[in-house]
Copies of this chain bind each other. A is one copy, B any other.
Amino acid sequence: MVKIAAAIDTKEQILNVAERQFAEKGYAGTSLRGLIKEAEVNIAAVHYHFGSKEELYSAVVRRVAQQIVNAQQQELAKYENQEHICLENIVEAFIAPTLRIIPQMGEMGVIRAHFMGSCRTEPLPIQQFVDREFNENHQRFLDIFQRALPNQTRLELEWKLDIVIAVLIRTLNQVGQSGKLIAESDAEEVEIAIARLVKFVVRGMKSSCLQE
């Protein structure tokens, strides 16, 4: 019982370092040995707490996805009971929470953003259980988009949401790899980036394939 506190620290320490290294080097490019060296924990601790490298990755994904999805749904809740749905609000509810993590979480912010982007460009089979964590969330956003744009088909909204996701992923990876697009990680810069991304994709979403 004395070591439970230490165990929690160990488990969290592994998760934190894993998130950084997985983000920087990808799943396949990350070795448990390089990971435990930086985390200063024992190799056996990884298998004791998580079981395997794949399950460790899965645990990191769950932790990150939970934070993002909660933040997105919280934003979405502000609007989903309104009679008239404003597209800009919904798009911002999708994009903003992810990017606002950067200034909110301090030095962990950039790492989280980077992992958030990189995990969505992992090859199969990793990508499969990354998608699983976000699928339900995407469906809810599609439902709202459907209400905001009732004369567009579900299929059309699906690939338009996919474009929004594409833009978000690229932005997150750029932030993680070079700090590009968001030179300073302060709140002001991030809000500017959010505003321009929202404006860009809203334009594309509003125009239906069937119109003009």
Contacts and interface: CB of A to CB of B under 8 A. Distances in A.
Interface of A: 24-29, 118, 121-124, 127, 159-160, 162-163, 165-167, 169-171, 173-174, 177, 181, 196-197, 199-201, 203-207, 209
A207 B200 CA distance: 8
A106 to B, nearest CB: 23
A114 B197 CA distance: 26
A170 to B, nearest CB: 3
Contact of A204 (B162, B170, B171, B203): B203
A21 to B, nearest CB: 10
A173 B204 contact: no
B25 A200 contact: no
Nearest to A181: B159
Contacts of A201: 204
What are the 6 closest A-B residue pairs judged by CB atoms, nearest first? A166-B170, A28-B29, A200-B204, A121-B121, A28-B28, A203-B203
A26 B118 CA distance: 12
A121 B126 CA distance: 15
Contacts of A28: 25-26, 28-29
Nearest to A193: B159
B200 A181 contact: no
Contacts of A171: 166
Nearest to A26: B123
A177 B127 contact: yes
A36 B180 CA distance: 38
A172 to B, nearest CB: 10
A167 B159 contact: no
Q: Which of A174, A201, A204 has the most CB of B within 10 A?
A: A204
Contacts of A169: 166, 170
A68 B25 CA distance: 27
Given A26-B122, A166-B171, A203-B207, 6 more contacts: A166-B170, A167-B167, A170-B170, A200-B205, A203-B206, A204-B204
